[in-house]
Every structure is written in C-alpha cells, then in structure tokens.
Amino acid sequence: MRLPLVVLFTVLNHLAYTGSRVTVSLFALHEGASALAVGALMSLFALLSMLISVPVGRLIDRIGAFPPIVVAAVSVFTGLLLPFAWPDLRALFPAALLIGTGFGVYFVVINNMVGALGQAEDRARNFSWLALGFSTGGFCGPMLAGFSIDSVGYRAALVVLAAFPAIALVPFVMRRHALPQGHRGVGMVSPGGLRELLREPRLRAMFLVSGLLAMGWDLFSFATPIYGTRIGLSPTTIGVVMAAFAGATFTVRLAMPAFARRVKEWSVIRAALLIAGASFLLFPLGRSLPTLMSLSFLLGIGLGCAQPMIMALLYAASPPGRQGEVVGVRTMMLSTSSTLLPLVFGALGAVLGMTPVFLAMAAGMLGAGWRARLR
C-alpha cells in the first residue's frame, strides 16, 4: 500500500471522527445535556479503545491489517447512522461508543502500516505525512460538522459524515493483498508481555509524553464546545475555532517532512510542551472569535508538531515483531485519557467552570516542558 493512499484514507476517516465528536457534543447540548453528561458522552468515544488497543495491536502483528480495517469502518459507519435512525439523546451514547471504538482500531492499524513503510531513516518523514493526513481530517471535520448542523440539522449532519468511512473502505477492499499480512508464526516476534515493554526506558518516556499531550488534545476537543456555548458562540463559530486548531496542526505538519531529518526529536517535543502550556494559560482570557482562533492556532502548533517524532521514536524502540502491540499500548494510553479526563473535566467544569481546568493543564504542560530539557 502506497503512502499517499494511506494518507488519503486517513483524511476521510479522521474527518468523520472529528466531525462526529463536534456534532455529538453539540447535539447533546441542544437536547439539554449538562456539562457532566457531555463529559460522560465524550468519554465513551475512547472507552473500549482503552480496553482493546493492546489486544488489537497484538492481533495485527499476527493476522495483518485487513480484517481490523473492515471492522473499524463498519463500526464508525454504524455509529454515525444510529442517531439518524433513533433521534433521541440516548442514541448518542452507543453511537459514541461505536464511532470511537472503530476509529481506535483504525488508528492502531494505520500507524503500524506507516511504520512498516520504507527504511528506518524515512519513518519520521512518513509519520509526518500521516500526521498531515490527520490534521487535514481534523481541519475539515469540525468545519463540515458546524456548517452541516446549521444547514440541515444534527441528524442529517451525521449522515453526511457517514459517507466518508464508507468511501475510504472501498480502496482497502480492492487492495487488501497490498496490506501488511502479519507474522502468523511466533518465530519473528520477541517474547514478553506489557510489563516488559514498560520496563524499556525509551518506550516508557514516549508513553508518558504521549499521554500528557493527549490530555491537552482531549481538553481542547471537550472544553471548546462547552466554553464556546457558555460565551454565546454559534455552532458554526465553534466549528471555525476548532478548525483553526486543526489548521495549525496542518501547517506545522506540512513543514515537518522537510525538517524531520534536520531536527532532534526531543527538541521538537520540548517545544511542543512549552507552546501548548502557554496556550492553555491564555485560553480563559479569550472571549472574541479572533482571540480564540489565535489561541487555538497556537495550541495546534504546539500539539501538532510532536506526534511524528513520538511515533518515529516509538517504532525504533519497539522489540522485533511487536510494533503493532507498542502502537496499541500508546493508543490505550490515549484512549484512557479520552475516557477518564472528560469525566473529570466535566465534573470540575460543572462546579468551578473551565478556567481552573485550563490553568491546571497549562501547569502540567509547562512543567513537563521544563523537565524535557534533560533529554
């Protein structure tokens, strides 16, 4: 499977996923859900991914990429159509579970595929292109969701989003023999379990940084619709603010393939933590659209530049034959963040407002950026 095709499929799937998160959260708020209820709803996007990512990674190492890709696409497609068939607030909860689980499986598969392409010196560049695909989908998804909601309503917006994973699945089916086939025997796979992976210092450091950056990403995705609604922004305006974040990740990742071989990975990671921390520190001051767009863009620059470097370091440090499992562990950590933190953020936001949440995240990011200088 060629890298440009993989990136294109990623754009289509991520567009549906990010658009669904915006649509589902705004749909719930439209139906009168509280901040805590929206937090519980958002946590369902990652609940099962938290539990199955490591087994899915091991399965990919054994049987290859095609069966998980099909399961992922069908799950996302079904979840997006469920609220259309059952127009009720209660339908959003199983829909979020199906969409998030399907995309979590796809995330493990696609990162493992990209890591297997090319030589070791090409990985940072390849992961930069993949990250650019995620950014493109992240930019288009919220924008499309906001315009669709204002134009045709919440239910129809989900139907529009459902078309994209269906389209993306067709080329995977047609070129299934070009996908990684896996190691059906155990001879090419290093022994050991999850504990052995966590004992590797390089992997452990990458897992911790990934988890912290994921917390920042989840906070932005969860808190922006709530914060925007509370200060009187329309769904389209909220979509524009979130699209500014995605536009920034696209911009910085567009430059990363050219610089991937010229910069040190840990220098990029430290800069990402410091920029993201400063953005969260200033975010509660934003009230107007230009200010919020500027802060969202700055935050996107910070969070967007680190992922290719993290993935390249993770893949290089993975034991032979266990790359899918390592990606699964990282996905499990990201999903744990996406599952638990919306509940925590929702509870704190309902009691204290979103400002203390933003400030706490800023402190964590800035502190980690200061510690990252030791690397």
The secondary structure of the chain, three-state, reads CCHHHHHHHHHHHHHHHHHHHHHHHHHHHHCCCCHHHHHHHHHHHHHHHHHHHHHHHHHHHHHCCHHHHHHHHHHHHHHHHHHHHCCCHHHHHHHHHHHHHHHHHHHHHHHHHHHCCCCHHHHHHHHHHHHHHHHHHHHHHHHHHHHHHHHHCHHHHHHHHHHHHHHHHHHHHHCHHHCCCCCCCCCCCCCCCHHHHHHCHHHHHHHHHHHHHHHHHHHHHHHHHHHHHHCCCCHHHHHHHHHHHHHHHHHHHHHHHHHCCCCCHHHHHHHHHHHHHHHHHHHHHCCCHHHHHHHHHHHHHHHHCCHHHHHHHHHHHCCCCCHHHHHHHHHHHHHHHHHHHHHHHHHHHHHHCCHHHHHHHHHHHHHHHHHHHHC
CA distance 87 to 156: 11
pLDDT tens across the length of the chain (375 residues) = 678 888 888 899 999 998 998 898 888 888 888 777 887 888 788 777 778 888 888 888 787 778 888 888 899 999 999 988 888 888 899 999 999 999 988 888 888 888 777 677 777 788 888 888 887 887 788 888 888 888 888 889 999 999 998 888 887 777 777 666 655 544 444 555 677 777 777 787 788 888 888 888 888 877 888 788 888 888 778 878 888 887 887 788 788 777 766 777 788 888 888 999 999 999 888 888 889 999 999 998 888 888 778 887 787 777 777 777 888 888 787 777 767 776 777 777 777 777 888 888 888 888 888 877 665
pTM, entire model: 0.71
Query: 228: closest CA among 361, 87, 135, 349?
Result: 349
Q: Cβ–Cβ contacts within 10 Å for residue 271, how many?
A: 17
198 token code pair: 């966590």
Are the beta carbons of 50 and 332 closer than 8 angstroms? Answer: yes
- Look at the chain and count its residues: 375
CA distance 245 to 300: 5
The pLDDT of residue 192 is 57
Q: Cβ–Cβ contacts within 10 Å for residue 15, how many?
A: 27
Query: 144: closest CA among 330, 303, 15?
Result: 15
CA distance 33 to 226: 11
- Residue showing tokens 């305006």: 237
The pLDDT of residue 299 is 92
- Angle, helices 201-230 vs 355-371, to 10°: value is 160
Dihedral sign from CA coordinates of 57, 61, 63, 65: positive
Q: Who's near 276: CB < 8 A, 6+ residues apart? A: 213, 216, 299, 302, 303, 365
How far CA 247 is from CA of 123, 221, 266, in Å, comes to: 23, 14, 24
Task: Give me the domains of the chain, ranges plus CATH numbers.
Answer: 3-174+195-374 (1.20.1250.20)
**Each residue of 40-50: pLDDT tens digit?**
888 788 777 77
